[in-house]
Structure 1
Amino acid sequence: MVGQDIQITDKHGRSHQVDVYYQFEKAGITHKVAIECKDCGRPIDNGQVAQFFGKLSNAGSIQKVMVSRLGYQKLAREIAEDNDVLLLTIDDLPKLNELLAERLKTVALPDETTVGEPFWTIMEKREGRVTGSFFAHPHPSTKRPEMLLFYSKEHAKRAFKEASLNPKEWCVRGMPQYVFRSFLIQLELAEMRGFGASVLFAPPGALKHKPFIAVSASREDLIAEYYDGDVPSIRATI
């Protein structure tokens, strides 16, 4: 969906104009982008950047982009960086899709502030960013490799430590529903290859040296009990 001179309503019911707005869905995630176009006869100052991100600060998760013919003042760039506003010039426009794609990677993947809904897990990390792949470990009884889920961040951190994982290559992350959806899609492929998933937990107050209780969980059961929505099937495309 693409529109020009669009009014966006924030959570307080206030309406705000943006020059260009577009919205699309990828991997089940809706991405929203608002673009402000400036041709003021001079580089954009920090006040104009602050006004732009300020009017959309209560409008939900929207990627904010400014385009200026004559560039930006130094403080304007600092304000934009602190508030996740992407600043572009006319020369950047031919590669706008590439620039936004890089930003959207960080939107679609969890960071250290993401909270589990309800699970936490261990994910692969490369050059400081998660790759979207999940750590797997042999089940203590069946020895089948299984991707791990935890109800507690502290339990995930404990398992990370016990597995002696390299923090440059792996990290603990919360799983909001959109990340859990990605996990479930990958789990279908894993099950087709003889892998699986386990929920690891320890009772409240359990001694630290006691092993986790590991319960194997099928994709079907995880969807039925923990995911609110539809998950596409890989089998339907094979």
Structure 2
Amino acid sequence: MFKNKGDRLESLIQYFYQELSKLSNKNIKVKTKYDIDGKSGTTHNIDVYYQFELNGIIHRVIFECKNWKNKVSKDKVLTLKAIIDDIPNSVGVMVAPKGYQSGTQTFAEHHGIKLISGSEQSLLAIVVQSKLSVVLPDETVIGEPFYCLMEKDNNGELTGNYIQNGDESGKFFLILYFSKKEARESRTDLKSVVRGIDKNHLTILCEYSEHLGLKLAIKQFVSTEALGVDANLLKNYFL
């Protein structure tokens, strides 16, 4: 349970970078409410602290999370600049879902501070899409437990898009097939290709469903209909 909206945003940013860190070979640390001493001897409490080592040098990213009702002013970015000036090899990032007041972006860019705004859903979308781009199933992946249809471009390469089908109510579902043959026979688009879904891919699709609203369905064996299914049910039975 989160004590307030700020805690929720900080936990989301921590999750965001922890998940992206799994795609990297670097030695990475991500902490919330992290205390670090600056060159001045002052202890700074950092909302989200991200650290990695590259070529023997420790690099630090200092996040300030402002989950406020109003837009963030330039003064708050100035405060962040003072913190990163006091912490060696650090850069600053401010996250504010409601955005920033006029002139704040120009000030931040001048001092090399990154400003991020947008909904939780948009942040999570970056995570999921990044993970999908790394683990797109190729023709060697065996469907354990499912197969699906994916989109290919004119060169036969996967675009990263999973093909979804609509029902009578206008809702669209990503259909999961138990049989590769059934998936192949369901192809109605020349730009589609059958790909296996293993447990790693299914885990990511369940995340996509839970956080971004992707609707999943299972095509029952030798049935003409697909049955909508909850991501938690899929995880309980197949992961």
- Scaled by the length of structure 2, the TM-score of the pair is 0.38
TM-score, length of structure 1 as denominator length: 0.38
